[in-house]
Structure 1
Amino acid sequence: MKKLLLLLLLLTIKITVHADWIRINQLGYTPAGSKVAVWCSKEQNAPAYFELVDAHSGKVVLKSKANAAAGSYGPFTQTCRLNFSGFHTPGLYYLQTGKTRSATFPISNTVYKGAADFCLRYMRQQRSGFNPFLKDSCHTHDGFPVYSPDTTFVPVSGGWHDASDYLQYATTSANATWHLLAAYRDFPGAFTDTLRANGLPGSNGTADVLDEAKWGLEWLLKMYPQDDRMYNQIGDDRDHQGMRIPRQDTNFYGRGLQRPVYLCTGKPQGLMKYQNRSTGIASTAGKFSSCFALGARLLADTMLAHKALAAYQLGIAYPGVCQTAPGRSPYFYEEDNWTDDMELASASLGNIQDAWSFAEQEPVTPWLGKDTARHYQWYPFINPGHAELARQLKGAQRDTLIQYYKRGIERVWRKASGNAFHRGIPFIWCSNNLTTAFAIQCYWYRQLSGDQSYLELEQASFDWLFGCNPWGTSMVYGLPANGDTPADPHSSLSHLKNYPLDGGLVDGPVYTNIFKNLIGIQLQDADEYADFQSSLAVYHDDFGDYSTNEPTMDGTAVLIYLLAAQESATRTITQGGITRGDSSLKNISLVFTAHEFAEGLPSIAKALEQQKVKASFFFTGKCYATPAFQPYIRKLYQQGHYLGPHSDQHLLYCDWKKRDSLLVTQQQFSVDIHTNLAKMRALGIDTSQVRYFIPPYEWWNNSIAEWSAAEGLQIVSFTPGTGSNADYTYPEMVAAYKSNADVYRSVKRFGNLNGVILLIHAGTDPRRKEKFYTLLPKLISELKKEGYQFKKIDELLQ
């Protein structure tokens, strides 16, 4: 179908010359996230403005200046960035500049929903042993040991095929297993349970991602049968003898259906023409150990805990790298670093001193900021050990690890800042894997430091994978369903059987000079991306190109972590207002509002001071101007709490039943807000840094949100369902009344309070005799015991 569409496109091009394009993230954008597209052209004139258009109505909803022209990149003579991050309203849109328009895309909190689970399909399709996609078994005779004192059969059937060939490596499989385990640990809400452990339909009470991780763990255990004996690889490049379905593997190795299983010896290996440069075992042993340690914690498995320690000790005994073994061709995974693997292992085992020592030996992953590297030379492309160790440290050492991440990111940024795609990743083999890993390093840095400086770079790396690249294509098979995604990957399953490779991340573009020098590449069809190839880099959606269009198991597993982070980290936006922060972090923001009643301020201030907690207060102009409240307001400000506006006269902005129906004009709104801010300044409060605003009655609509943005304010409000906002009710309200006990239960029953904005009134009508704010010490203490941290609203949403 894609090739037919190409022919139709070529016919159209003969009639209409097309010189400009707008590249977007085809998955879409979240309302609160970074939202940038790239305009690119084969002409010189960059647009001054761009427009965001509602795809249903055709109405222009935003007209904004384009960023400064960024110059040539790849096939384009001129490029620039189109930043519409300030627009938050969900919907379906497209961008246009003059006569050029993008494809349609959604802005929604659900654009990433289910994406991580979707990519798990490819992992199951790559299973060796029993394969649930094929409903068949393969490679059940693995294998016979080489470089080993063992002379008998080694039972190692299982695991995943590495890519479109059927080789299996502990190096990549362990990295994949760790990322799947970490994705489940860090973002359990991103995954569902629709399959049994064997991958066939049927819930088994375990998230599917954990089932997949366990599949990897079980194979790694087979590859480590004794504490002093670890295997690294099944098969070698004798596998590359034509396309076939897995169960059709035949006698390539002279031992019937058995394949060779390579022992980790710490010395160079290669049974045929070529050899690797192995110097030790630690790179593989460290990966085994970190997987077993994390698996032991998640599964409460004492045997995994034993194996984690044994593997770690093996790495200590044999420092150095354990590279994969080549055969008839010179290609292998040329991993040259190992202290990163041992740092992750020691951090996972809680061995802080050793982990710190290893961390100092490789502060920055060496490829970051470089133009090239050998194939998988600095694997697994970033150092997860820094993040795992930083989470266990405080003070200067923690800050040092965070700075290690920042140094690597800054090296990439120095290259990326010079082009419109913010591309600073070298176009070496598996460049998409490097891109995915780098986006995760940016994410971990942001989570650990709170620094948002590289958010746009982080998002640009993610956007690149889903279409914001010169070729305008997603690099993930079938994602999104209606997008331009790989259709002719280098895979026997799709090439021979037309099976979909749902969720598989392909290798990605390579330098043109690399492509021209690779062995055995022959494109099969006309190049639909011919207009976008350049002397810089190429990408081909063609079965014949194994360098750019072959899906990889390990790259897909790492992407699953990134997609789960994206789905879990999205803020909740309601009518342009933020009602919940990052739901992947155990942070809560306490916010207090007041208008005519604020008798609770002394009690609240005392409780926060005793608990050493900072909160946020939003008062009306009337409250700020009330002499009885002013001493306490000044004290809150001096203590470092966040103070913001709540309107001057507590206006009702829109109808209760018809939310779109406004009850104030924009001028009335503006005057009221500025009056509120002026009364804050009269108390000595610096309003130049005030960014957040809670509307009166916590009731607003998209128009109010847009008016707020025009005043430099972002609407925030309580997280629906928490129920603490009902603490203003009194018994005369009958059914609407909620007692303190009712409110407390509502908060506790909410469950996962990650990112929640918990609103409490600083004062209530005298008819309410019991005051919920008196329960603050108890509530804060209990939530602290559950691991929650309390953040001011600007910290929660930074």
Structure 2
Amino acid sequence: MLCLAAALLATCAAACDSPTPSPTGFVRVDQVGYRTDEAKQAFLMGSPGDASFRVVDESGRTVLDGVAGPSTGSWNTGFPVVRALDLSALRTPGSYRVLATGAEPSPVFRVGSGAELFGPQVAANVHFFQAQRDGADVVASIVDRRPAHLNDAAATVYEVPRYDESGDELLDERLTPTGGPVDVSGGWFDAGDFLKFTHTAAYSTALLLLAQRDAPAGGPELAAETRHGLAWLDKVWDDSTGTLHAQVGIGAGNEDVRTDHDAWRLPEADEAPGADPALTRRPVFRAADPGQPISPNLAGKVAAAFALAAQTTTGEAALRALDKAAKVYDLADREPDALVTAYPHAFYPEASWQDDLEFAAAELALAGRALGDPRTDGWARDAGHWAADHLASDALGTLGVGDVSALAHADLVKLFDTGTAAAETTRDLLTDDLARQLDDGGARAVGDPFRAGTDYLEFDAVPHAFGLATTALLHQRATGEDTYAAFGTQQRNWALGANPWGSSFVIGAGSVYPRCPEHQVANLTGQQLTGAAVNGPNRADLFTEPNRFPTMRPCASADFTRFDGHGARFVDDVGAWQSVEPADDFTATALLAFALTSR
């Protein structure tokens, strides 16, 4: 990389003896890089007029040149024209930059194998989950972590809190204890705070297990992290009473109920001498009363995680995991009036649930088939039933914590490989819906100058981009067709720097990435939260009041304002949770995309 920088300086010294206008354009690339065998696209933001470009290697030698394509649209008044640059002919492994007429040189990017480029990204994502560990089993070398919330080992269960419709106001005057003690220690913090949700923990554990099962990346550290996630799910699920606990801690209260979101501190401070009692003894809330039907989205995700554990272990451990998965699945509410995700539900709004039961049943059937379980055929029939119900519902989305149908479909097709007409029909329905999800993203991408298939004005833009990238890979694996390969690659490119702001939205990936995440531990220790995926751009009017605490260390990175457009903003400031708060589900989705790309 130093060689490449020196070569560029030498080129400039030779060509810049006379004054030239300052660059007004910018080249946006996937800063991690491109696989040798995939379509490669970058974007040039600038003004009207023809623009040529060339790609230089580490020695400054031109290895590719061309002319920018036609305008893909206008981004803002400062950048009225965006053009695509086709780099697909670049297939020799190495490090490169793009030099374009009237533009600053692009960041350095690499061309190489999937394993070389994205295996390290999987490892970095695993490091984020290590940073998120709660309890006694922390990794001290990651953001200077210390054991925390040991009192969760004997926590009190409280009645489910009641909120107003928006989820902003706790209606209960105080929390009412109803049982315990229960051991809910360990697990992962959900995001930049210290709450723990079964909803996101089960989703994240399942995706890490899929990566462990289906891709070579990750190695022993990924396997250790899946065990850590499963160990906590084992605690929140009480096998003896049929009870699933949904949440540890509370994030929205009132004048009398203090919450996790009312203080900015290191997690170990919660149990230090003189700590706030409300934080020292955190409440636990159930998903349902013991033995009663469990919200199917929660039951489905937890059962799927246990069933995947049965597929990635052997012997008695596999049989125990399958048994837990079956028990949780059997308690799923088949006619829910409302779904439980978190308290309040507004923290993680979700409308679909048949997809979760399809996911659970498909994973149960795959595990059952491997272990010779007589219930396998019944689970396979169930999976087909829930798939049909989901496809007939009005809650069809794309891959993310709120819709796991892509994962369910991709594994369910494995159960219908007999070659019969009925099996082929079922496979077609499933793969057609994978295509539908990608077509939905593609329809949105057509109207975006940077070909993003995600909505800049909604939360979770980045994880949805990684979800589309993952779905394209799942579709290719299920069908053997590469119809959506280029589109899926574009979505990964967008998330890693080929976007208006020129920032990767995974910390440490590339050269420009969030430096000031809203994450209490990273902020207070001053250490980099490598591997964390953040929300990315969001609706501009959400940034009127940054989050501020007296104990928060001020941190603001580069000003990206000139690149805001189409009603969207990206703000790299520790108080801008709307853009730069990392989360487990975001990072798990990125990890699976990277793992499948590394194959």
Provide the TM-score with structure 1 as the length reference: 0.61
Match of 1:556 in 2: 587
- Three-state SS of the structure 2 residue aligned to 1:51 is strand
Match of 2:351 in 1: 336
- Three-state SS of the structure 1 residue aligned to 2:482 is coil
Match of 1:126 in 2: 132
Choose 227-236 or 397-406, whichever is displaced more.
Answer: 227-236
Match of 1:489 in 2: 517
Match of 2:57 in 1: 54
- Three-state SS of the structure 1 residue aligned to 2:122 is helix
Counterpart Cα distance in 1 of 2:118 and 2:562: 30
Match of 1:392 in 2: 415
Match of 1:532 in 2: 563
**Following superposition of structure 1 onto structure 2, how do residues 642-661 of structure 1 map, counting pairs within 5 Å?**
none
- Is 1:223 the counterpart of 2:236? The answer is yes
Task: Rate the CA distance shift 1:71–1:504 in 2: closer, same or farther, 3 A.
Answer: same
| Cα contact 1:312–1:345 (8 A) shared by 2 | yes
- Is 1:541 the counterpart of 2:572? The answer is yes
Counterpart Cα distance in 2 of 1:418 and 1:60: 33
Match of 1:418 in 2: 447
Residue identity opposite 2:438 in structure 1: I
| Cα contact 1:266–1:281 (8 A) shared by 2 | no
| Cα contact 1:321–1:337 (8 A) shared by 2 | no
1:242 to 255, 263, 268: 263
Q: CA deviation at 1:451?
A: 2.4
Q: CA deviation at 1:341?
A: 0.6
Residue identity opposite 1:383 in structure 2: A
Counterpart Cα distance in 1 of 2:119 and 2:462: 21
1:73 to 72, 75, 98: 75
Counterpart Cα distance in 1 of 2:233 and 2:515: 32
Question: Over aligned residues, Cα RMSD in angstroms?
Answer: 2.8
2:325 to 308, 311, 315: 308
Counterpart Cα distance in 2 of 1:473 and 1:34: 21
**Following superposition of structure 1 onto structure 2, how do residues 80-91 of structure 1 map, counting pairs within 5 Å?**
80-91=83-94
- Is 1:265 the counterpart of 2:295? The answer is no
**Following superposition of structure 1 onto structure 2, how do residues 594-673 of structure 1 map, counting pairs within 5 Å?**
none
Counterpart Cα distance in 2 of 1:477 and 1:366: 35
Task: Rate the CA distance shift 1:366–1:552 in 2: closer, same or farther, 3 A.
Answer: farther
Q: CA deviation at 1:518?
A: 8.1
| Cα contact 1:145–1:153 (8 A) shared by 2 | yes
* Unmatched 5+ stretches in structure 2: 1-19, 161-176, 252-258, 366-378, 418-423
What do residues 501-533 of structure 1 show as CA deviations (whole Å, max 9, x unaligned)?
Answer: 111111111121344488779996475212112
Counterpart Cα distance in 1 of 2:439 and 2:478: 16
Counterpart Cα distance in 1 of 2:538 and 2:145: 35
Task: Rate the CA distance shift 1:173–1:325 in 2: closer, same or farther, 3 A.
Answer: closer
| Cα contact 1:144–1:260 (8 A) shared by 2 | yes
Q: CA deviation at 1:326?
A: 3.9
Match of 2:298 in 1: 284
- Three-state SS of the structure 1 residue aligned to 2:580 is coil
Task: Rate the CA distance shift 1:381–1:19 in 2: closer, same or farther, 3 A.
Answer: farther
Match of 1:597 in 2: none
Residue identity opposite 1:407 in structure 2: R
Counterpart Cα distance in 2 of 1:146 and 1:309: 27
Match of 1:444 in 2: 474
| Cα contact 1:46–1:69 (8 A) shared by 2 | no
Q: CA deviation at 1:317?
A: 5.4
Counterpart Cα distance in 2 of 1:151 and 1:120: 35
- Three-state SS of the structure 2 residue aligned to 1:411 is helix
Q: CA deviation at 1:367?
A: 7.6
- Three-state SS of the structure 2 residue aligned to 1:70 is strand
| Cα contact 2:135–2:186 (8 A) shared by 1 | yes
Counterpart Cα distance in 2 of 1:18 and 1:439: 32
Counterpart Cα distance in 2 of 1:331 and 1:316: 21
| Cα contact 1:175–1:380 (8 A) shared by 2 | no
Task: Rate the CA distance shift 1:447–1:563 in 2: closer, same or farther, 3 A.
Answer: same
Residue identity opposite 1:63 in structure 2: D
Counterpart Cα distance in 2 of 1:415 and 1:213: 34
Match of 2:495 in 1: 465
- Three-state SS of the structure 2 residue aligned to 1:152 is strand
Counterpart Cα distance in 2 of 1:424 and 1:293: 31
**Following superposition of structure 1 onto structure 2, how do residues 23-38 of structure 1 map, counting pairs within 5 Å?**
23-38=28-43
- Three-state SS of the structure 1 residue aligned to 2:327 is helix
Counterpart Cα distance in 2 of 1:386 and 1:263: 30
Match of 2:49 in 1: 45
Aligned residues: 516
| Cα contact 2:134–2:188 (8 A) shared by 1 | yes
**Following superposition of structure 1 onto structure 2, how do residues 706-745 of structure 1 map, counting pairs within 5 Å?**
none
Counterpart Cα distance in 1 of 2:530 and 2:121: 11
Q: CA deviation at 1:307?
A: 0.8
| Cα contact 1:292–1:308 (8 A) shared by 2 | yes
2:146 to 112, 115, 136: 136
- Three-state SS of the structure 1 residue aligned to 2:34 is coil
Match of 2:123 in 1: 117
Counterpart Cα distance in 2 of 1:18 and 1:240: 44
Percent identical among aligned pairs is 27
* Unmatched 5+ stretches in structure 1: 1-14, 193-206, 268-278, 569-798
Task: Rate the CA distance shift 1:146–1:90 in 2: closer, same or farther, 3 A.
Answer: same
Which gives a bigger RCO, structure 1 or 2 (Cα 8 Å, sep 6+)?
Answer: 2
| Cα contact 2:547–2:575 (8 A) shared by 1 | no
**Following superposition of structure 1 onto structure 2, how do residues 515-530 of structure 1 map, counting pairs within 5 Å?**
515-516=543-544, 525=556, 528-530=559-561
| Cα contact 2:299–2:328 (8 A) shared by 1 | yes
Residue identity opposite 1:81 in structure 2: A
| Cα contact 2:355–2:404 (8 A) shared by 1 | no
Counterpart Cα distance in 2 of 1:316 and 1:472: 45
